[in-house]
Amino acid sequence: MFLTFLIFLAIVVTSFFTYCFIPFKAVQITQNETLFLESPKLYVKDYPHFTYRRILLSNVKVPRIDYKTPQVFGDEKYIDACMFPRFNFEEHAKRSRVYMLHFKDTFCLSNGVFIKEGNFYAISHNCKKMVHQLYLNFEKPKSYQINFKRYHSIISLTHVNFDTFGHWLSEMYPIFLMIPEPIRTASYVLCYNVRKFHIEGYEIAGIPKERLINGELLKELSNTSNNHPKRFCNTLSKNSSPSSRSSDDAFTVYSDNVYTFQLQTCLHMSAISIAFAKQETVRLLQLPEFPLPHRYIIFDRKDSRKIIEINQIFELVKSRNPDIPFEIRSENSGDLRTQIRFWHFVKFIFGSHSSAIFGCFFMRPGSTVAIVEFILCFHSLEYLAIASGHCFIHFREPTMKLLVPFHANVTFYVQFIEKALSLK
Protein backbone atom coordinates (compact mmCIF):
# COMPACT_ATOMS: atom_id res chain seq x y z
CA MET A 1 0.00 0.00 0.00
CA PHE A 2 2.76 2.40 0.94
CA LEU A 3 4.62 1.53 -2.29
CA THR A 4 1.49 2.27 -4.31
CA PHE A 5 1.20 5.64 -2.57
CA LEU A 6 4.84 6.48 -3.39
CA ILE A 7 4.33 5.57 -7.03
CA PHE A 8 1.19 7.73 -7.15
CA LEU A 9 3.05 10.62 -5.47
CA ALA A 10 5.94 10.31 -7.95
CA ILE A 11 3.50 10.48 -10.87
CA VAL A 12 1.80 13.58 -9.43
CA VAL A 13 5.11 15.38 -8.75
CA THR A 14 6.50 14.48 -12.18
CA SER A 15 3.33 15.69 -13.88
CA PHE A 16 3.44 18.95 -11.91
CA PHE A 17 7.03 19.76 -12.82
CA THR A 18 6.47 18.72 -16.42
CA TYR A 19 3.50 21.06 -16.68
CA CYS A 20 5.25 23.96 -14.96
CA PHE A 21 8.72 23.83 -16.48
CA ILE A 22 8.54 22.08 -19.84
CA PRO A 23 6.82 24.18 -22.51
CA PHE A 24 3.43 23.04 -23.70
CA LYS A 25 3.62 21.45 -27.16
CA ALA A 26 0.97 23.07 -29.32
CA VAL A 27 -0.33 21.67 -32.59
CA GLN A 28 2.17 22.32 -35.42
CA ILE A 29 1.62 21.00 -38.95
CA THR A 30 3.52 21.83 -42.13
CA GLN A 31 2.10 21.33 -45.61
CA ASN A 32 3.19 22.76 -48.98
CA GLU A 33 5.58 25.28 -47.39
CA THR A 34 2.87 26.45 -45.00
CA LEU A 35 2.99 26.18 -41.22
CA PHE A 36 -0.26 25.69 -39.31
CA LEU A 37 -0.33 26.53 -35.58
CA GLU A 38 -3.24 25.97 -33.23
CA SER A 39 -3.39 27.91 -29.94
CA PRO A 40 0.37 28.50 -29.56
CA LYS A 41 1.89 30.02 -26.43
CA LEU A 42 4.66 32.60 -26.10
CA TYR A 43 7.71 31.64 -24.02
CA VAL A 44 10.48 34.03 -23.05
CA LYS A 45 13.70 32.19 -22.23
CA ASP A 46 17.38 32.90 -21.62
CA TYR A 47 18.28 29.62 -23.28
CA PRO A 48 15.33 27.80 -24.91
CA HIS A 49 15.22 24.10 -24.06
CA PHE A 50 15.71 23.22 -27.73
CA THR A 51 19.12 24.97 -27.89
CA TYR A 52 21.45 22.56 -29.71
CA ARG A 53 24.69 24.34 -28.79
CA ARG A 54 25.74 27.40 -26.81
CA ILE A 55 29.00 28.71 -28.27
CA LEU A 56 31.23 31.16 -26.37
CA LEU A 57 32.56 33.82 -28.77
CA SER A 58 34.07 36.29 -26.31
CA ASN A 59 37.23 34.22 -25.74
CA VAL A 60 39.01 36.16 -28.50
CA LYS A 61 42.22 38.16 -28.26
CA VAL A 62 41.66 41.89 -28.42
CA PRO A 63 43.93 44.90 -27.90
CA ARG A 64 43.97 46.20 -24.35
CA ILE A 65 41.60 49.15 -23.99
CA ASP A 66 42.30 51.93 -21.50
CA TYR A 67 38.78 52.58 -20.17
CA LYS A 68 38.56 56.20 -19.11
CA THR A 69 36.13 57.66 -16.58
CA PRO A 70 33.23 59.50 -18.27
CA GLN A 71 32.96 63.18 -17.37
CA VAL A 72 29.94 65.42 -16.82
CA PHE A 73 30.13 69.18 -17.39
CA GLY A 74 28.22 72.06 -15.85
CA ASP A 75 26.33 72.86 -12.67
CA GLU A 76 23.31 71.07 -11.24
CA LYS A 77 21.15 72.22 -14.16
CA TYR A 78 23.23 70.24 -16.65
CA ILE A 79 24.38 67.14 -14.79
CA ASP A 80 22.82 63.68 -14.80
CA ALA A 81 19.39 63.83 -13.25
CA CYS A 82 18.70 60.11 -13.72
CA MET A 83 21.27 59.01 -11.11
CA PHE A 84 22.55 56.22 -13.31
CA PRO A 85 25.26 54.19 -11.54
CA ARG A 86 28.85 54.48 -12.65
CA PHE A 87 30.27 51.37 -14.21
CA ASN A 88 33.71 50.00 -13.64
CA PHE A 89 34.18 49.55 -17.38
CA GLU A 90 37.37 47.55 -17.07
CA GLU A 91 35.77 45.06 -14.70
CA HIS A 92 32.63 44.99 -16.84
CA ALA A 93 34.70 44.18 -19.94
CA LYS A 94 36.52 41.36 -18.14
CA ARG A 95 33.25 39.75 -17.16
CA SER A 96 31.50 40.22 -20.50
CA ARG A 97 30.41 37.03 -22.17
CA VAL A 98 29.01 36.73 -25.67
CA TYR A 99 27.27 33.46 -26.45
CA MET A 100 25.96 32.38 -29.83
CA LEU A 101 23.00 30.00 -29.68
CA HIS A 102 22.63 27.26 -32.29
CA PHE A 103 19.14 25.86 -32.96
CA LYS A 104 18.33 22.96 -35.27
CA ASP A 105 15.28 22.68 -37.55
CA THR A 106 13.63 25.89 -36.37
CA PHE A 107 11.25 28.48 -37.80
CA CYS A 108 12.39 32.12 -37.54
CA LEU A 109 10.43 35.34 -37.89
CA SER A 110 12.20 38.40 -39.23
CA ASN A 111 11.50 40.27 -35.98
CA GLY A 112 13.76 37.90 -34.03
CA VAL A 113 11.10 35.52 -32.70
CA PHE A 114 11.35 31.73 -33.17
CA ILE A 115 8.79 28.95 -33.60
CA LYS A 116 9.45 25.49 -32.23
CA GLU A 117 7.13 22.64 -31.24
CA GLY A 118 4.12 24.76 -32.11
CA ASN A 119 5.00 27.71 -29.85
CA PHE A 120 6.61 31.14 -30.18
CA TYR A 121 9.89 31.84 -28.37
CA ALA A 122 11.61 35.14 -27.64
CA ILE A 123 15.08 35.32 -26.11
CA SER A 124 14.59 37.05 -22.77
CA HIS A 125 17.50 39.42 -23.27
CA ASN A 126 16.03 40.76 -26.50
CA CYS A 127 14.49 44.22 -26.41
CA LYS A 128 12.25 44.27 -23.34
CA LYS A 129 9.80 46.63 -25.01
CA MET A 130 9.28 44.12 -27.80
CA VAL A 131 8.80 41.15 -25.46
CA HIS A 132 6.35 43.00 -23.22
CA GLN A 133 4.28 44.04 -26.23
CA LEU A 134 4.24 40.49 -27.56
CA TYR A 135 2.58 39.25 -24.38
CA LEU A 136 -0.43 41.41 -25.15
CA ASN A 137 -1.14 39.40 -28.30
CA PHE A 138 -1.68 36.11 -26.46
CA GLU A 139 -4.69 36.99 -24.36
CA LYS A 140 -6.79 34.32 -26.11
CA PRO A 141 -6.15 31.26 -28.32
CA LYS A 142 -5.48 31.89 -32.00
CA SER A 143 -4.83 29.88 -35.11
CA TYR A 144 -2.00 30.76 -37.48
CA GLN A 145 -1.35 29.86 -41.09
CA ILE A 146 2.15 30.99 -42.06
CA ASN A 147 3.87 30.75 -45.41
CA PHE A 148 7.62 30.17 -45.14
CA LYS A 149 10.77 29.55 -47.17
CA ARG A 150 13.48 26.97 -46.46
CA TYR A 151 17.20 27.64 -45.96
CA HIS A 152 20.11 25.54 -44.78
CA SER A 153 21.66 28.13 -42.44
CA ILE A 154 20.24 31.37 -41.01
CA ILE A 155 21.71 34.09 -38.79
CA SER A 156 19.05 35.95 -36.78
CA LEU A 157 20.40 39.05 -35.04
CA THR A 158 17.93 41.89 -34.56
CA HIS A 159 15.84 43.98 -32.19
CA VAL A 160 13.22 46.71 -32.30
CA ASN A 161 15.66 49.47 -33.39
CA PHE A 162 17.50 47.37 -35.98
CA ASP A 163 16.86 49.98 -38.69
CA THR A 164 18.43 52.87 -36.74
CA PHE A 165 22.07 53.32 -37.74
CA GLY A 166 23.40 54.09 -34.27
CA HIS A 167 21.67 51.15 -32.59
CA TRP A 168 22.65 48.69 -35.31
CA LEU A 169 26.26 49.90 -35.45
CA SER A 170 26.92 49.80 -31.70
CA GLU A 171 24.71 46.88 -30.58
CA MET A 172 24.41 44.52 -33.57
CA TYR A 173 27.38 44.93 -35.90
CA PRO A 174 30.20 44.29 -33.38
CA ILE A 175 28.57 41.01 -32.33
CA PHE A 176 27.99 40.02 -35.95
CA LEU A 177 31.71 40.40 -36.68
CA MET A 178 32.43 37.86 -33.91
CA ILE A 179 30.55 35.09 -35.72
CA PRO A 180 33.11 32.55 -37.00
CA GLU A 181 33.79 33.21 -40.67
CA PRO A 182 32.82 29.69 -41.89
CA ILE A 183 29.35 30.14 -40.35
CA ARG A 184 29.06 33.76 -41.44
CA THR A 185 29.86 33.15 -45.09
CA ALA A 186 27.73 29.99 -45.39
CA SER A 187 24.58 31.56 -43.93
CA TYR A 188 21.81 33.87 -44.96
CA VAL A 189 21.12 36.83 -42.65
CA LEU A 190 17.45 37.26 -41.71
CA CYS A 191 16.73 40.98 -41.27
CA TYR A 192 13.60 42.76 -40.13
CA ASN A 193 14.34 45.16 -42.95
CA VAL A 194 17.39 46.11 -44.99
CA ARG A 195 18.74 49.64 -45.29
CA LYS A 196 21.69 50.90 -47.30
CA PHE A 197 24.01 50.83 -44.27
CA HIS A 198 23.07 47.20 -43.57
CA ILE A 199 24.09 46.19 -47.10
CA GLU A 200 27.38 48.09 -46.90
CA GLY A 201 28.21 46.85 -43.39
CA TYR A 202 27.51 43.20 -44.09
CA GLU A 203 29.45 43.38 -47.36
CA ILE A 204 32.50 44.46 -45.35
CA ALA A 205 31.98 41.33 -43.23
CA GLY A 206 31.89 39.15 -46.36
CA ILE A 207 28.11 38.86 -46.77
CA PRO A 208 26.89 39.90 -50.25
CA LYS A 209 23.58 41.68 -50.67
CA GLU A 210 22.06 38.50 -52.12
CA ARG A 211 22.44 36.74 -48.75
CA LEU A 212 20.41 39.34 -46.85
CA ILE A 213 16.78 38.30 -46.41
CA ASN A 214 14.71 41.47 -46.25
CA GLY A 215 11.66 40.66 -44.15
CA GLU A 216 10.05 43.96 -45.09
CA LEU A 217 9.97 43.04 -48.80
CA LEU A 218 9.23 39.32 -48.56
CA LYS A 219 6.10 39.31 -46.44
CA GLU A 220 3.77 36.73 -47.99
CA LEU A 221 1.62 35.91 -45.00
CA SER A 222 -1.78 34.27 -45.18
CA ASN A 223 -4.30 33.94 -42.38
CA THR A 224 -6.83 31.68 -40.77
CA SER A 225 -9.85 33.25 -39.07
CA ASN A 226 -8.14 36.64 -39.24
CA ASN A 227 -5.50 35.48 -36.74
CA HIS A 228 -2.11 35.51 -38.44
CA PRO A 229 1.45 36.70 -37.79
CA LYS A 230 0.55 40.24 -38.76
CA ARG A 231 -1.31 40.60 -35.44
CA PHE A 232 1.54 38.97 -33.59
CA CYS A 233 4.31 41.01 -35.18
CA ASN A 234 2.80 44.42 -35.82
CA THR A 235 3.42 45.48 -32.21
CA LEU A 236 6.93 46.35 -33.35
CA SER A 237 5.57 49.01 -35.66
CA LYS A 238 3.89 50.82 -32.77
CA ASN A 239 7.29 51.45 -31.17
CA SER A 240 9.29 52.40 -34.26
CA SER A 241 9.43 55.13 -36.86
CA PRO A 242 6.30 55.02 -39.09
CA SER A 243 8.29 55.48 -42.28
CA SER A 244 10.21 52.25 -41.75
CA ARG A 245 7.23 49.94 -41.23
CA SER A 246 4.36 48.61 -43.29
CA SER A 247 1.11 46.81 -42.52
CA ASP A 248 2.45 43.24 -42.42
CA ASP A 249 5.38 43.05 -40.10
CA ALA A 250 7.28 39.79 -40.39
CA PHE A 251 8.58 37.19 -42.78
CA THR A 252 9.07 33.56 -41.75
CA VAL A 253 11.76 31.08 -42.75
CA TYR A 254 12.58 27.51 -41.78
CA SER A 255 16.22 26.56 -41.43
CA ASP A 256 18.20 23.43 -40.65
CA ASN A 257 20.62 25.59 -38.64
CA VAL A 258 19.76 28.84 -36.89
CA TYR A 259 22.34 31.04 -35.15
CA THR A 260 21.25 33.78 -32.78
CA PHE A 261 22.49 35.58 -29.67
CA GLN A 262 21.40 36.07 -26.11
CA LEU A 263 23.03 39.50 -26.02
CA GLN A 264 21.05 41.66 -28.45
CA THR A 265 19.29 44.13 -26.20
CA CYS A 266 18.42 47.67 -27.20
CA LEU A 267 20.91 50.04 -25.46
CA HIS A 268 23.01 47.08 -24.27
CA MET A 269 26.54 46.91 -25.68
CA SER A 270 29.29 44.36 -25.34
CA ALA A 271 32.69 45.86 -24.52
CA ILE A 272 34.57 42.79 -25.75
CA SER A 273 32.74 42.73 -29.09
CA ILE A 274 33.33 46.45 -29.62
CA ALA A 275 37.07 46.02 -29.03
CA PHE A 276 37.14 43.03 -31.37
CA ALA A 277 35.11 44.78 -34.09
CA LYS A 278 37.34 47.87 -34.04
CA GLN A 279 40.34 45.63 -34.62
CA GLU A 280 38.49 43.59 -37.27
CA THR A 281 37.39 46.60 -39.36
CA VAL A 282 40.97 47.84 -39.46
CA ARG A 283 42.01 44.43 -40.77
CA LEU A 284 39.16 44.03 -43.26
CA LEU A 285 39.60 47.51 -44.76
CA GLN A 286 43.41 47.42 -44.51
CA LEU A 287 43.51 50.71 -42.61
CA PRO A 288 46.67 52.05 -40.97
CA GLU A 289 47.01 50.30 -37.62
CA PHE A 290 48.57 53.33 -35.94
CA PRO A 291 47.22 56.42 -37.74
CA LEU A 292 47.72 60.01 -36.65
CA PRO A 293 44.18 61.35 -36.12
CA HIS A 294 44.01 65.03 -37.01
CA ARG A 295 40.38 65.97 -37.67
CA TYR A 296 38.42 68.06 -35.15
CA ILE A 297 34.71 67.94 -35.99
CA ILE A 298 31.88 70.22 -34.91
CA PHE A 299 28.78 68.28 -35.98
CA ASP A 300 25.84 70.38 -37.16
CA ARG A 301 22.76 68.21 -37.07
CA LYS A 302 20.39 69.69 -39.66
CA ASP A 303 16.94 68.45 -38.68
CA SER A 304 15.66 67.51 -35.24
CA ARG A 305 17.92 68.37 -32.30
CA LYS A 306 19.79 70.98 -34.32
CA ILE A 307 21.75 73.46 -32.20
CA ILE A 308 20.41 76.74 -33.62
CA GLU A 309 23.53 78.75 -32.67
CA ILE A 310 25.99 76.14 -33.97
CA ASN A 311 27.67 78.56 -36.42
CA GLN A 312 28.33 81.12 -33.67
CA ILE A 313 29.76 78.34 -31.48
CA PHE A 314 31.95 77.16 -34.34
CA GLU A 315 33.33 80.63 -35.11
CA LEU A 316 34.00 81.48 -31.46
CA VAL A 317 35.77 78.22 -30.65
CA LYS A 318 37.91 78.62 -33.79
CA SER A 319 38.91 82.16 -32.89
CA ARG A 320 39.83 81.15 -29.33
CA ASN A 321 41.79 78.08 -30.48
CA PRO A 322 43.49 79.13 -33.74
CA ASP A 323 45.98 76.24 -33.69
CA ILE A 324 43.24 73.59 -33.91
CA PRO A 325 41.86 72.88 -37.42
CA PHE A 326 38.15 72.68 -36.55
CA GLU A 327 35.75 71.77 -39.35
CA ILE A 328 31.98 71.75 -39.37
CA ARG A 329 30.08 68.82 -40.88
CA SER A 330 26.40 67.98 -41.21
CA GLU A 331 26.39 64.35 -42.30
CA ASN A 332 28.41 61.20 -42.78
CA SER A 333 29.01 61.38 -46.53
CA GLY A 334 29.76 58.42 -48.80
CA ASP A 335 29.20 54.73 -48.28
CA LEU A 336 30.05 53.01 -44.99
CA ARG A 337 33.58 52.12 -46.12
CA THR A 338 34.24 55.79 -46.90
CA GLN A 339 32.77 56.85 -43.56
CA ILE A 340 34.93 54.38 -41.65
CA ARG A 341 38.06 55.65 -43.38
CA PHE A 342 37.06 59.22 -42.47
CA TRP A 343 36.36 58.42 -38.79
CA HIS A 344 39.66 56.54 -38.57
CA PHE A 345 41.42 59.93 -38.64
CA VAL A 346 39.03 61.92 -36.40
CA LYS A 347 40.59 63.08 -33.14
CA PHE A 348 37.66 65.04 -31.68
CA ILE A 349 33.88 65.15 -32.20
CA PHE A 350 31.34 67.54 -30.67
CA GLY A 351 27.59 67.60 -31.33
CA SER A 352 24.09 66.96 -30.05
CA HIS A 353 22.90 63.35 -29.69
CA SER A 354 22.72 61.89 -33.17
CA SER A 355 22.85 58.50 -34.83
CA ALA A 356 25.54 59.84 -37.15
CA ILE A 357 27.91 60.49 -34.22
CA PHE A 358 27.92 56.76 -33.45
CA GLY A 359 30.60 56.71 -36.15
CA CYS A 360 32.93 57.54 -33.23
CA PHE A 361 33.04 53.74 -32.94
CA PHE A 362 35.68 53.86 -35.72
CA MET A 363 37.85 56.56 -34.10
CA ARG A 364 41.13 55.37 -32.64
CA PRO A 365 41.41 54.85 -28.87
CA GLY A 366 42.46 58.01 -27.05
CA SER A 367 40.23 60.32 -29.12
CA THR A 368 37.56 62.55 -27.54
CA VAL A 369 33.76 62.51 -27.79
CA ALA A 370 31.86 65.54 -26.42
CA ILE A 371 28.08 65.26 -26.54
CA VAL A 372 25.06 67.40 -25.73
CA GLU A 373 22.52 64.91 -24.37
CA PHE A 374 18.84 64.84 -23.48
CA ILE A 375 17.86 65.48 -19.90
CA LEU A 376 16.49 61.92 -20.12
CA CYS A 377 18.56 58.89 -19.20
CA PHE A 378 20.42 58.27 -22.47
CA HIS A 379 23.84 56.64 -22.03
CA SER A 380 24.38 54.80 -25.31
CA LEU A 381 27.01 57.16 -26.74
CA GLU A 382 28.77 57.17 -23.38
CA TYR A 383 29.03 53.37 -23.36
CA LEU A 384 30.20 53.23 -26.97
CA ALA A 385 32.83 55.92 -26.46
CA ILE A 386 34.23 54.44 -23.23
CA ALA A 387 34.22 50.89 -24.64
CA SER A 388 36.12 52.26 -27.65
CA GLY A 389 38.82 53.73 -25.41
CA HIS A 390 37.87 57.39 -25.90
CA CYS A 391 37.71 60.30 -23.51
CA PHE A 392 34.03 61.12 -23.05
CA ILE A 393 32.26 64.16 -21.66
CA HIS A 394 28.67 65.30 -21.86
CA PHE A 395 26.11 67.56 -20.31
CA ARG A 396 22.34 67.31 -20.34
CA GLU A 397 20.58 70.18 -22.10
CA PRO A 398 17.17 70.89 -20.49
CA THR A 399 15.87 72.63 -23.63
CA MET A 400 16.74 69.80 -26.04
CA LYS A 401 13.73 67.81 -27.22
CA LEU A 402 13.55 64.72 -29.40
CA LEU A 403 12.33 66.21 -32.69
CA VAL A 404 12.88 69.99 -32.68
CA PRO A 405 15.85 72.41 -32.93
CA PHE A 406 16.88 74.15 -29.73
CA HIS A 407 18.75 77.28 -28.60
CA ALA A 408 22.14 77.17 -26.90
CA ASN A 409 24.14 79.38 -24.56
CA VAL A 410 27.09 80.04 -26.90
CA THR A 411 29.61 80.90 -24.19
CA PHE A 412 28.70 77.86 -22.11
CA TYR A 413 28.96 75.55 -25.12
CA VAL A 414 32.38 76.90 -26.07
CA GLN A 415 33.58 76.37 -22.50
CA PHE A 416 32.29 72.81 -22.72
CA ILE A 417 34.23 72.18 -25.96
CA GLU A 418 37.41 73.62 -24.46
CA LYS A 419 37.00 71.44 -21.38
CA ALA A 420 36.65 68.42 -23.68
CA LEU A 421 39.82 69.41 -25.56
CA SER A 422 41.76 69.30 -22.29
CA LEU A 423 40.85 65.67 -21.52
CA LYS A 424 43.56 63.05 -21.75
Given a cut of 90, whether residue 17 has pLDDT beyond it is no
- Phi first, then psi, for residue 326 (nearest 5°) are -65, 145
Question: Within this chain, do residues 143 and 256 fall inside the same structural domain, yes or no?
Answer: yes
> Residues 356-392: pLDDT tens digits?
999 999 999 999 999 999 887 778 899 999 999 999 9
Q: What pLDDT does residue 137 have?
A: 62
Q: What pLDDT does residue 47 have?
A: 85
Q: What gap in Å lies between CA 124 and CA 119, rounded to an integer?
A: 15
In a domain, 228, yes or no: yes
Question: Within this chain, do residues 153 and 31 fall inside the same structural domain, yes or no?
Answer: yes
Q: What pLDDT does residue 219 have?
A: 59
* Helix, strand, coil share (%) of the chain residues, nearest 5: 35, 25, 40
Count of residues in the chain: 424
Given a cut of 70, whether residue 22 has pLDDT beyond it is no
Residue after which a domain boundary falls, among 219, 252, 275: 275
Given a cut of 70, whether residue 136 has pLDDT beyond it is no
Q: What pLDDT does residue 359 have?
A: 94
Question: Within this chain, do residues 348 and 309 fall inside the same structural domain, yes or no?
Answer: yes
Confidence of residue 8 (pLDDT cuts 50, 70, 90): low
Output DSSP code: residue 29. E
Confidence of residue 248 (pLDDT cuts 50, 70, 90): very low
Question: Within this chain, do residues 167 and 200 fall inside the same structural domain, yes or no?
Answer: yes
Q: What pLDDT does residue 89 have?
A: 73
Q: Is 20 helix (H, G, I), strand (E, B) or coil?
A: helix
Question: Within this chain, do residues 105 and 240 fall inside the same structural domain, yes or no?
Answer: yes
Q: What pLDDT does residue 10 have?
A: 57
Supply the range of the domain harboring residue 309: 71-94+288-421
Burial class (CB in 10 A: 0-12, 13-18, 19+), 415: middle
CATH number at residue 395: 3.40.50
Q: Which secondary structure element, helix H or strand E, spans residue 246, and what is its range?
A: none
- Counting the structural domains of the chain, the total is 2
Specify which of 266-275, 376-385, 390-399 reaches the highest per-range mean pLDDT: 390-399
Cα 123 from chain centre: 14
Confidence of residue 80 (pLDDT cuts 50, 70, 90): confident
In a domain, 64, yes or no: no
